[in-house]
Amino acid sequence: MSSIFEITHKDAAGRIGKLKTPHGVVETPTVMPVINPNLQVIKPSEMKGFGAQMLITNSYIISRKDNLREKALKDGLHSLLDYDGPIMTDSGSFQLSVYGDIDVTNEQIIEFQKTIGSDIGVPLDIPTPPDVSRNRAESELKTTLERLIEARGMVNDEMLLAGPVQGSTYPDLRQKCAEDLREHKFDVYPLGAVVPLMESYRYADLVDVIVSSKKGLDPTVPVHLFGAGHPMMFALAVALGCDLFDSAAYALYAKDRRYITSNGTYHIDNLSYLPCSCPVCISHTAEEIRKADNCSELLARHNLYVTFEEMRLVKQSIKEGNLLELVEQRCRTHPRMLEALKKMYSYSDWIEKYDPASKSTFFYCGPESSQRPEVLRFSNKLERFTIKGSAVIRPASKKDLKGYDNDLIFKAPFGAFPAELAEVYPFNAEVIRTPDVESLGKAVENTIALIELNPDTKFTFIKEEGLEHPLFEKLGQIADIKE
């Protein structure tokens, strides 16, 4: 159990938590705006006004520039950035991934981060990119683990220490790395080298990376998804258990004249209207932003407002217990995100372990909803229903039918359940009137399983007109079907 991270609310594998740092408590999930110490599009001192609780900057860049290094060593990191909240520092691993080599050792960069007063320091791990050979992934992972263990031995003071999980796109290596790091009790666990997956829209592969890493970690520790700054994918990543994100996207996209929304990205030159009510958008037209001398700054400000707006919505969804509904909505914004949603639900058995058993209302959002952990949980607990005598399985729209010992309601995607549970979560689900084939198939499958678990009971199934599925033929072999 983490001594610096307290989980206060849960939904799916996501959570709201409190992360204790030397410069204050941070509520997660949250986004850390990336601050380039050489080029500050928006001053760090302004970041709290957008909703930022914590920043991240690059200690390697600071260490390589004389004026930055001298001020940081003399006055401290927080004075250098003019920010009094928590600051995380990266080690230069990103530069290592881009340029192949950097002029600093793991020991030197850890010592530098400690000296300048970083709240969370990061060792010089090797960010192995996707799709490399297994031999390379294993070799670089071995070096990463050696460096992380070395760093753990150097940090015993106030600075928190991150233990990046590497392993390229090999799920077993990611999980093994996480398991090895778990023994050394790092404070925060970043998932590294995932930016190439996001840049190429490989969100399904990203799901594999997150879940395999999470499986190897203590479920109570904070997890940081390195380089994830687009609000479109926050809900998905949070639902899988990520707590911290860092965003350079707000500035990088703005430099490229791109306008971020929670559903995707627009180019400002193609916008006639601004679909946002942030302070920038209500005080400017699209044309005014386009022609403004400070266009990049205006877009960066808008991008930050949207980023934190989405994260607040994610947290509200956790509190209300409808995070998965938000995930399903967001994942329909792009075909590759929809692939990620399907991949996420392939791990429903893992998510179900952390998903609260009681919430408010289950909202059916589409075929993928039939694979949600609530449906899986019901499927796994069918043996708890002991039914004797005779039983009728009826649509919720029909009234209680007399002459049967048991009254069951049929509702897709769950199937048949005792009528007295109709107002209990998740059977109080809001669903479409005519089930789609995936939802109906799962419901009939569960109903068949329930009947087979009670072989001495005579079942009568009242079928609504228009419902058709191949599994009804099998159902008709073990129950009387009436329309």
Average pLDDT of 108-113?
A: 96
Compute the average pLDDT of residues 107-113: 96
From the list 11, 90, 243, 246, the catalytic residue is 90
Three-state DSSP at 84 gives coil
Mean pLDDT of the chain: 95
Question: What's the pLDDT tens digit per position in 9-18?
Answer: 999 999 999 9
H-only helix segments in 34-190: 59-64, 66-75, 77-81, 93-99, 106-116, 134-154, 171-182
Amino acid sitting at position 347: Y
Query: 362: pLDDT confidence band, cut at 50, 70 and 90?
Result: very high
User: Does pLDDT of 465 surpass 70?
Assistant: yes
Is it the case that residue 100 has pLDDT exceeding 90?
no
The residue with greater pLDDT, 259 or 403, is 259
Helix (H, G, I), strand (E, B) or coil at 58: strand
Does the annotation flag 101 for ligand binding?
no
Reported as half-sphere exposure (CB side, CA atoms, 13 A), residue 47 has a value of 28
What value does the mean pLDDT take over residues 94-117? Answer: 82
Task: Report helix, strand or coil for 401.
Answer: coil
Pinpoint the residues of the chain covered by CATH 3.40.50: 370-481
Residue range 127-152, pLDDT digits in tens: 999 999 999 999 999 999 999 999 99
Separation between Cα atoms, residue 57 and residue 251, nearest integer Å: 14
**CA gap 397, 83 in Å, rounded:** 60
Task: State residue 400's pLDDT score.
Answer: 74
Region 373-377: mean pLDDT is: 97
Model confidence over 271-288: pLDDT tens digits?
999 999 999 999 999 999
Give the pLDDT confidence of 179-192 residue by residue, as tens digits: 999 999 999 999 99
349 assigned to a ligand binding site? no
Domain formed by 370-481, architecture: 3-Layer(aba) Sandwich (3.40)
Indicate if 172 belongs to the active site: no
The pLDDT value given to residue 94: 67
Q: State the pLDDT at residue 98.
A: 60
Q: For residue 281, say whether it is annotated as part of any ligand binding site.
A: yes
Average pLDDT over residues 164-175: 98
What single letter denotes the amino acid at residue 225?
L
Cα torsion 294, 298, 300, 304 to 10°: value is 160
pLDDT digits (tens, 9 = 90+) for 203-247: 999 999 999 999 999 999 999 999 999 999 999 999 999 999 998
pLDDT at 39: 85
- Considering only 38-42, 428-432, 452-456, which range has the smallest mean pLDDT? 38-42
The pLDDT score that the predictor gives to residue 466 is 85
| Rounded Cα gap, residues 404 and 12, in angstroms | 38
Which residues of the chain does CATH 3.20.20.105 include?
Answer: 5-352
pLDDT at 34 over 90: yes
Report whether pLDDT(402) > 90.
Answer: no
Q: Is 365 annotated in some ligand binding site?
A: no
**Is 242 one of the annotated binding-site residues?**
no
Of 138, 246, 229, 273, nearest to 190 by C-alpha is 246
Which residues have CB under 8 Å from 402's CB, separation 6+? Answer: none
What is the model's pLDDT at position 419? 95
pLDDT value at 97 more than 60: no
- Considering 33-42, 103-112, 284-293, the range whose residues carry the highest mean pLDDT is 284-293
CATH 3.40.50.1460 fits 5-352, yes or no: no
